[in-house]
Structure 1
Amino acid sequence: MRFVYTIGLWGLFLGIVLFPSITQATHVRAGEITTKRISQTSLTYLVTFTAYYDEVKGRQAADQAEPYTFCFGDGSTLEVKRSRRQYINGRTSSVNSYTAIHTYPGPGVYTIGITVPNRNADTKNLPPPATSDQIRFFVSTTILINAALLTNSTPVMLNPPLDSGRVGQKFCHNPAAFDADGDSLAYRLSVPKTSLTDNGCIGRDIPVYQDPTRFSTSSEAGGTPTFTINPITGELCWDAPGEIGQFNFAFIIEEWRNGVLIGEITRDMQIIVTDSPNKRPLIAPIPDLCVEAGTLITQPVTATDPDGQRVIITGFGGVFNVGQDGLALAPGELIQPAYARLINGGIPQPQPATATFSWQTNCNQLRDAPYDVTFKVNDVPNKPTPSLVSFQTFRIQLVGPAIKNLTARPTVAANGRAVQLSWDAYTCGNTGTTITIYRKAGCQVDDLPPCVTGVPAGYTKIAEVASTATSYIDTTTLNRGGSYSYRVVAVYPDVNGGFNGGVSLSSNKACLELPLLSPVITQVTVDSTSANGQITVKWTRPLGLNPSDLSGPYQYRLQRATDLNGTNFVPIATINTTLLPTAPDTIYVDRGTPTSTLNTANSAYRYRLEFYYTNNGTLTRLDVTDAASSVRLAAAPANRQIVLSWQANTPWSNDNQTHDIYRSRSGPNGPFNKIREVRVSTPTYTFTDDGSDTFLADGNTSRVLSADSSYCYRVMTRGQYTDTQLSRLGILQNYSQILCAQPGDTTRPCPPNLSVDSLNCASLSTESLCDQTSFTNKLTWTPGSGPTCDPNIASYKIYYGRYRTDTLGVLSSVDAPTMKYDHSGLSTVAGCYYVTAVSKRGLESSPSNQVCVDACPSFVLPNVFTPNGDGKNDVFAPLHCPRFVSSVSFVVYNRWGAKLYETSGATLAWDGRSSDGVDLPTGLYYYQASVRFALLDKNAPPQIIKGWVQILREGVSAR
């Protein structure tokens, strides 16, 4: 999100901006606007304008610097007088505060603006410097107001925006911005602003502003000069000033919360650059810190000066709870106490100088965002040499302390399996803090980097309790004999103004293995497949329980549910036991009950076992096993193949094991041969049977699968418990039900080889096909063959297209074994053909070779005829049997080129008359005939015949 400001009428009022009509003393050096919401029930804000005045040349104007107009961005304004004036820098400057309380009408984005006439004189990059005191000073702050933000304050800048620099040396400034709400801050450069009137509400860039690098020749190291701001730390650096003088520039601080821009402040600041042999002092780098709340931080800050002069080390940041004027703020205004101190700070020291940053942290100061602390060192040269400064910023990430002394021990709950967690009382955090409990399977080593809050990857949240709790009993889906790791963290509420959510460091890891106090199911195998099938269920005795641990008698109660994931468990057997190893009481053959048959053909079944002991004479359930299902096999047809898939829902894992595939070619009663051992690695297991047999110990049954046959299968799975306590039970084997299926067959016939009897045009005489109007094309073909083709042909389809460019369509079909077809009743032999074969399964082959037949055209005209009505040679018509003529266009001309006769049609028979029916006299006439033939090429051009013809009349006949 970017806030947008509307700027207009700049050119019209430029002269007014730069040269106000009222001459007024000038004084403003720098300033910014901050806001703070002060009500939980209304949108009421405290708005503060902080201005820095020139108390030397602008003292008279500084005395009269009030009131000023606050523009609140919602259309309302207010005249505000100065509430505070504090002298700084040896009374050469002052910090001035103007405050107002304003209530906004509703949520929205508001830009607060203030204009002050005017800036102080001699600012070099607002040329000409002599008139910089005629440019109004304008700053603004934009805030986003909505209900979700609750209380919110803009950041405050704790380091005054007035410093000195030296020609040729890198100058840096850090505003020491602090956000009491812990919002994220980002920095970017801007341009100093002005406005059109003395109480203007809209700012605009000063058009004569010049970037500071225009006054530089090189950086301190001799490279290209730069003017930048660090977007994270806010350190603004000019590397390096090239001229002496006074300079103003501006930058913006953006305030972000949860990825949303909620405000931005513009600071307009000023520095004075001198030229002297003085060199700036230096601060030794300080590493960032990450500490638990409650830690006492003692960080030495060391500074030196290349000229050997004394230095003064000062510190800025919200942790000091000190304002821009160096005076202490109201308790807790920026941060909850205790506040940080800079021991030996603020006093001249011979260099190398050391001050000690001391801060006793506590849990009231916890927040997500780190604390930025900025140290400033300035040298103390002899007058009148100005002092130079350097900055060093370091970050302190304050994290919630870990919950201490987490322990875990097994206990008994309603279902017999539980873990009792305990930890020391936790005192960090305010109202709303909770404790979250995480768990993962196993006791693997965790990678827990320093200063990283929360639990490592792999843990799952299982519960959340109040911060006052010191224990929790975990009963959520605990596997008997399983090992589990636990960690707990404190979760802080998202409250503006101190806490900003987040979690503490993780507690120590507590790990344990649950004892085996109950039986464990080891087999659910299908013995027979039918509507009245049979399944064998086996289990162990309680592995970690001795008969003397609990009083008897003891009892197993077996329950069954339908389907792989069934939960409708019903009791099917009650078995008393003495827990003695010799007792045959850990196996049950389920054949169904009188009211509930075991349809193993249609369903999988799921079992669980309850274990009871005697407590005060009453049978009491100690535990219940994890449920285990039978293996369910499914099949799908493929081309001459069958795709098998199987699954089971068991507490042991069948992954990364070898499963056996059995096949019967003789039906569900067998015999079954093992045909393949399949190594599987995923919870859904598949195998495609192509008829081969790779397990030859019980015989080789390899043979291509036929789509006309049915094949029966069963699968034996292998699995193992993954927990170390149960893995010693070894490999667990279980059979699926028997399932029969047929393969599909998508094999197509091979395409036939086609031939068509066609005319030999070269061998035809002019008398051939005379007077023939109906033709026949004779098609014959031979079947195709190949190792991948289906030889079982049921019929053949004949496809035909009249022209070469046509899409061929079905003409007819013939049943096999016929392999010929006469295409009769044709007006022309021209056309294209192909043939396909259709298998007995209805699958059609690819097309055969395409054969195209063309016609043999013929059209010959005489050169004399006698239209005298004697019935002999009375018309002008083609000679010698014209062949395959589609149409004729005919035109007759006299010897002078005049058109006498014209006709068109399927035939030509001219009777010697003109177009208007007048007999033409004996004589020589010229003609042009355009003849189209019924050929294969639909767009074949016509044959053009040009010639002459003699008309003879008066009873003369041409023979």
Structure 2
Amino acid sequence: MRQSLQCIFLFLLLAVFAHDAAATHVRAGEITARRISSNSLTYEITLTAYFDMQNGRPAADAQVDVTFYVGDGGQPIVVPRKLPIVDIGNNTTRNEYTFVYTFPAPGRFVISTALQNRNNNVLNISPPPTQEIDFFIRSTLVINASLGLNRTPVLLNPPIDLAAVGQRYIHNPGAFDADGDSLSYRLVTPQRSAAAGRGRDVQYVDPNRVQPEGPTENGTFPSTFSINAITGDLIWDAPSIPGYYNVAFVVEEWRNGVKIGEIVREMQIIVIEVRNDRPRLDSIPDICVEAGMMIRQSITARDKNGDRLTLTSISGVYQNTLVPAQNATFTVGQQNALGQVSGLFNWQTGCNHIRLEPYDVLFKVEDNAGPNFPNPSLFRKLVDIINVKIRVYGPKPQNLRAEPATDPSGQAFRITWSSYQCQIPGAQIVVYRREGCTNYEADLCQPGLPVGLGYQEVGRVAVGETSFVDNNGGQGLRRGVNYSYRIVVEFPRPGALPTEPNRLNGGGTSLPSSEFCLDLPQMMPVITNVTVDSTSQTRGQITVRWTRPLGVAPGAGDGPSQYRLFRATGLNGTDFTQIATINTNLQPGVADTLFVDRGLNTTANAYRYRIDYYFTSNGSLVKFDETEPASSVRLEQEGGASRQVRLVWTANVPWDNSNQRHRVYRESRTQRGVFNQIAEVQVQGPETFTYTDDGTDRFAADGTQSITLSADSTYCYRVETVGSYNSARIRPSLLYNFSQIICVTPIDTIRPCPPVLSLDTLDCATLTADAFCNQTTFTNNLSWTYPAQNAVGGECDPNIVEYKIYYARFDGEEPKYLASVLPPPTPPAMTYAHTDLSSFAGCYYVTAVNRYGNESAPSNIVCKDNCPQFSLPNVFTPNNDGKNDTFKPLSCPSFVETVEFRVFNRWGTKVFETTDVGINWNGKNNAGQDLPSGQYYYEASVRFQSVRPNSEPLILKGWVQLLR
């Protein structure tokens, strides 16, 4: 059957690709740049162009030089071709044009060139013939000292692979950035030259839209054409019409979230009709390693037709010029094997390979005619590509330890670790701490510490250091608390020259060290409870509990010890006053670590407590230390949804109340003073906690007492917090503390619905000229209705106690509060008269307010405008007979704001002008001289009071006969 395809191949190739070979040649290209000097902004700039040798060899060979432009307004730079020309297969050669350029200063530079001409018969570019459309390509280079040195990525995979009708086509440019910058990809429209150094888009159609809608390789509809923004995989699944198609995409370069450059590759996809099936590569997961580990990854490709297979790999990790030291290798056991081929990727990673961004390694399999293909010269090769991302992280720091340290604060740890394996200049060791221990173990793809673990940075030192003293910023660490430490190494972003052999490639963080967990000896007592026993304005009661000093034996010292208890008002109170003195010999079974504080206003206040511990030294009591203060739990009500109670509580305590299940209680409706638990709340935050009660009892263990909350009733609540010091030394391990009791009414937050507003109107067409004569004040009459349901069918609160009217003089101006109206006993009709206005112009809306003070959204805005009245006569007789002596508006003008009036004689000379709203022209010119009888022409610009700000004036033009 393959023998029968020979003629079909020959016919298709001649029919699809035949055209004038002497004038067409450019298929693809891109411009790259790399810095080559350590003391100047000197770069080597290269155009890599791909030419059609089958249909345009003479023209391609004739392209012995190209003209570059650098920046806007730059001078043309003619660059000769480098030799030799390289034949890269599929009737395509690669030509390179390279020159050295020194930029005058840092900046953003567009480097471009245009080539004459494209090859012909490109199906998705118009107008034909496409051989008459030139090929414009550009790249952008950013030189910025604050970002460090920069070079563009290089595209290591040439765009020469064929696409087969009905089969998935994939191309990946093999972009590699030696600086370790992040790369992203997006499609753009190919360009042609517009002027020197400037391009413009060609008339272009997405390749997938040239063809009728067809299936993908797997038979699903429709076919697709896209580029993966992260991997750069350009995938067409699947073409259905053979021919030439051109596409272009941008490779964007990012550093620290800032775009620092881009290069454009335009390329040609050659779609052919074949009976050959493309080979397939087995999928390979992305790889994560610690620097210093050896990567050994096998790669296998298969071909169901049994064709010969060639397996290759492209990446910067194979090149000394791109990745320093210890380059990777890729070996294939048997190239051109029939049906299946395997290779082995090896890379001994090292410290110089650590970077934030992954390394891309592209693997490519290409088939060739097997022994069963009758005419190998007619075989058309197909390929498959996969791109594997390899992340090389800094190795895990080793042997982390911590021990109490001598420090002026008296409470500190010295953190130590082994000398770090990768001594990269500029790297820093970051020390993290949290309260409580974890069992977190990072895998090879999880550098740094997840935020959710709760670690906080407490310091950092240079990578060569091996210790750090943590004293909590001079405040000292808390006794009796378990502390967990970890360290992570952070590496600097690139900044050295690419030519330096030990150049760091791009930042990132190491894997975290193992955890070291310990606590400070608890010599001082610590407060464990501040719980509200009863709520009252005068008889409130709080119980305070604390621990004994750890490690102190009964009778230690020269005599008894003493606790002195202090109290301050408020969650954050600092006005501590001593309220009790408790002597102790630390004897077992003696109740000397509890105090009941009575006579408090627990209704209005939270209270905060502190204990000072004294011991006997040389016969005198000496203060040893004081505890961290701890407050009672304060419960409040917050605004919530309709018929709900939103509870908020907080406590300022030295222990940790987060990551626990707090308990919410509501007073029984049948037994006053008895509280039933209605919920357990899993809390996360460290200080403030919330729960919204909708009446449902969500805790069934003590009986379910669900109710319907009403805005007309009062409900009482208290909460019980659960906390811990996260220390095995402190007992009890869980600490329970009650808040005060609050009795509240559910906040009814159903917003009243907006009313529907109407405003009396003016029919200007029916008004007479003297309708508003002698009228100096005006009234607007508003009326509105209140709906029974809102726009989506929900209930509107019927309990409206007030309507608020808002007024704005001009349309578009924010209305301001004007007045309030009480609703009548029998809605729905409501009215308001806005009186004493200088005109009718204005806009209004109305809101409704319910009994809880909730105000509705504004009603519809209604505006009213004036009916301007202004007309002029066409004759007047200024002869001082007391009749018609002045020229002025007829009747009485209404709502006139300004007038600009000018009079011209028959020769167009202005003889009179005024801004008098009444005009009152007495037949004289502006010099006070009588004007002769005759016909005069006027122009009046009249601006009226209007609801529209800066409304256009009315322009009146006419004539008037002056008679004496």
Q: Deviations over 1:375-421 (max 9, x none)?
A: 11112333353433221222223333322333445567555544444
- The CA distance in 2 between the partners of 1:41 and 1:126, in whole Å, is 45
1:362 to 346, 350, 358: 350
Q: Which residue of 2 aligns with 1:233?
A: 231
2:464 to 465, 468, 476: 468
Cα 1:160–1:573 shift into 2, 3 Å: same
Q: Which residue of 2 aligns with 1:695?
A: none
Cα 1:117–1:677 shift into 2, 3 Å: closer
For 1:727, what is the secondary structure of its paired residue?
coil
- The CA distance in 2 between the partners of 1:543 and 1:99, in whole Å, is 77
1:726 is aligned to 2:724: no
Report the Cα offset of residue 735 of structure 1: 12
The answer to whether the Cα contact below 8 Å between 1:118 and 1:136 also exists between their aligned partners in 2 is yes
- The CA distance in 2 between the partners of 1:392 and 1:25, in whole Å, is 36
Report the Cα offset of residue 463 of structure 1: 1.1
Cα 1:535–1:175 shift into 2, 3 Å: closer
- TM-score when normalising by structure 2: 0.56
Cα 1:553–1:500 shift into 2, 3 Å: farther
1:295 is aligned to 2:279: no
Report the Cα offset of residue 81 of structure 1: 1.9
- The CA distance in 2 between the partners of 1:601 and 1:275, in whole Å, is 86
- The CA distance in 2 between the partners of 1:313 and 1:650, in whole Å, is 65
For 1:195, what is the secondary structure of its paired residue?
strand
The answer to whether the Cα contact below 8 Å between 1:315 and 1:345 also exists between their aligned partners in 2 is no
CA RMSD of aligned residues (A): 5.7
- The CA distance in 2 between the partners of 1:58 and 1:645, in whole Å, is 78
The answer to whether the Cα contact below 8 Å between 1:40 and 1:151 also exists between their aligned partners in 2 is no
Q: Which residue of 1 aligns with 2:489?
A: 490
Q: Deviations over 1:644-670 (max 9, x none)?
A: 999875546899579999xxxxxxxxx
Q: Deviations over 1:237-296 (max 9, x none)?
A: 344455665554333323344555443322122355555554433222222222222221
Q: Which residue of 1 aligns with 2:795?
A: none
Q: Which residue of 2 aligns with 1:152?
A: 150
The answer to whether the Cα contact below 8 Å between 2:566 and 2:580 also exists between their aligned partners in 1 is no
The answer to whether the Cα contact below 8 Å between 1:720 and 1:727 also exists between their aligned partners in 2 is no
1:118 is aligned to 2:117: yes
Cα 1:63–1:675 shift into 2, 3 Å: closer
1:470 maps to amino acid: T
1:426 to 420, 425, 434: 420
Q: Deviations over 1:70-120 (max 9, x none)?
A: 122321133232363344346862331323414265645x43320122334
Q: Deviations over 1:823-866 (max 9, x none)?
A: xxxxxxxxxxxxxxxxxxxxxxxxxxxxxxxxxxxxxxxxxxxx
1:162-561 alignment, distance < 5 Å = 162-195=160-193, 200-207=196-203, 211=207, 214=210, 220=217, 225-240=223-238, 242=240, 247-275=245-273, 277-321=275-319, 331=320, 333-344=321-332, 347-381=335-369, 382-409=376-403, 414=408, 416-428=410-422, 430-446=424-440, 451-456=445-450, 457-466=452-461, 467-476=463-472, 478-495=477-494, 498-521=504-527, 540-546=547-553, 558=564, 560=566
How many residues align? The count is 669
For 1:85, what is the secondary structure of its paired residue?
coil
2:72 to 65, 71, 74: 74
Q: Which residue of 1 aligns with 2:98?
A: 98
Cα 1:264–1:634 shift into 2, 3 Å: closer
Give the % identical residues.
40
The answer to whether the Cα contact below 8 Å between 2:528 and 2:735 also exists between their aligned partners in 1 is no
The answer to whether the Cα contact below 8 Å between 1:212 and 1:227 also exists between their aligned partners in 2 is yes
Q: Which moved more, 1:152-161 or 1:31-40?
A: 31-40
- TM-score when normalising by structure 1: 0.57
For 1:203, what is the secondary structure of its paired residue?
strand
Report the Cα offset of residue 434 of structure 1: 2.1
Cα 1:45–1:536 shift into 2, 3 Å: same
For 1:387, what is the secondary structure of its paired residue?
coil
For 1:424, what is the secondary structure of its paired residue?
coil
- The CA distance in 2 between the partners of 1:282 and 1:728, in whole Å, is 64
2:118 maps to amino acid: R
Q: Which residue of 1 aligns with 2:897?
A: none
1:625 is aligned to 2:627: yes
Cα 1:202–1:346 shift into 2, 3 Å: farther
For 2:732, what is the secondary structure of its paired residue?
helix
Cα 1:213–1:238 shift into 2, 3 Å: farther
Report the Cα offset of residue 133 of structure 1: 4.2
Q: Deviations over 1:632-685 (max 9, x none)?
A: 9999xxxxxxxx999875546899579999xxxxxxxxxxxx966697999799
For 1:253, what is the secondary structure of its paired residue?
strand
1:543 maps to amino acid: L
The answer to whether the Cα contact below 8 Å between 2:178 and 2:505 also exists between their aligned partners in 1 is no
Q: Deviations over 1:313-333 (max 9, x none)?
A: 111122222xxxxxxxxx3x4
Report the Cα offset of residue 158 of structure 1: 0.3
Greater Rg over alpha carbons, structure: 1
1:631-710 alignment, distance < 5 Å = 649-651=652-654
For 1:517, what is the secondary structure of its paired residue?
coil
- The CA distance in 2 between the partners of 1:718 and 1:193, in whole Å, is 67
Cα 1:454–1:601 shift into 2, 3 Å: closer
> Structure 2: 5+ residue runs without aligned partners?
1-18, 370-375, 497-503, 638-646, 682-687, 692-717, 746-822, 834-964
The answer to whether the Cα contact below 8 Å between 1:286 and 1:301 also exists between their aligned partners in 2 is yes
1:53 is aligned to 2:45: no
- The CA distance in 1 between the partners of 2:471 and 2:232, in whole Å, is 51
Q: Deviations over 1:447-470 (max 9, x none)?
A: 856622222413231412223333
Q: Which moved more, 1:36-45 or 1:469-478?
A: 36-45
Cα 1:168–1:628 shift into 2, 3 Å: closer
2:398 maps to amino acid: K
The answer to whether the Cα contact below 8 Å between 2:449 and 2:455 also exists between their aligned partners in 1 is no
The answer to whether the Cα contact below 8 Å between 2:663 and 2:719 also exists between their aligned partners in 1 is no
The answer to whether the Cα contact below 8 Å between 1:631 and 1:736 also exists between their aligned partners in 2 is yes
For 2:82, what is the secondary structure of its paired residue?
strand
Q: Which moved more, 1:32-41 or 1:510-519?
A: 32-41
Q: Which moved more, 1:52-61 or 1:433-442?
A: 52-61
2:548 maps to amino acid: R
- The CA distance in 2 between the partners of 1:485 and 1:65, in whole Å, is 68
Q: Deviations over 1:339-379 (max 9, x none)?
A: 22111289544442111111112232222222221111112
- The CA distance in 1 between the partners of 2:293 and 2:206, in whole Å, is 48
Q: Which residue of 1 aligns with 2:794?
A: none
2:454 maps to amino acid: Y
The answer to whether the Cα contact below 8 Å between 1:25 and 1:58 also exists between their aligned partners in 2 is yes
The answer to whether the Cα contact below 8 Å between 2:123 and 2:210 also exists between their aligned partners in 1 is no
Cα 1:318–1:622 shift into 2, 3 Å: farther
